[in-house]
Structure 1
Amino acid sequence: MFASHLLGLTLLVATASFVLGVFVAYAVWGYRSFEVQDLEASITASRAKAVRLREEQSRLHARLQEA
């Protein structure tokens, strides 16, 4: 009787630990995914800014050549 209760309690604790571990892993994975998306957005914005700056530099260089 005591052994079956101990086994049931052990299985309950093991299952709860597993579920908690899966939840934590999913939360960490989601956070990392969010970080990656934020980093990708930052890189895209930086590239767009670099393109605008190169275009501005070309325009200024052309104006300088005209003068």
Structure 2
Amino acid sequence: NGLTGSARQSLGINLANAVAGDLRHDPPAGMPPELFLVCVVAAFQRRHGVFVAPAPSVLPMPPGPGPMPPAPGWG
């Protein structure tokens, strides 16, 4: 990514503080800034139905075992 560790940390703190201020939200004590930003982006994507496909360099997941049988009482 081209950033040093301290530059990345500083950028994360600045972004997280700005976003938290814009949202009028206090993140939980001890939550790292990068995790807070990931949570904000995930909430935005979930609310707005935005899905970003994985990068082409990511290998596809192998197929799963197939559909699960219904749980008792759901059938």
TM-score under structure 2 length normalisation? 0.28
RCO (CA 8 Å, sep 6+): is it higher in 1 or 2?
2
Identify, as 1 or 2, the structure richer in helix: 1
TM-score under structure 1 length normalisation? 0.31
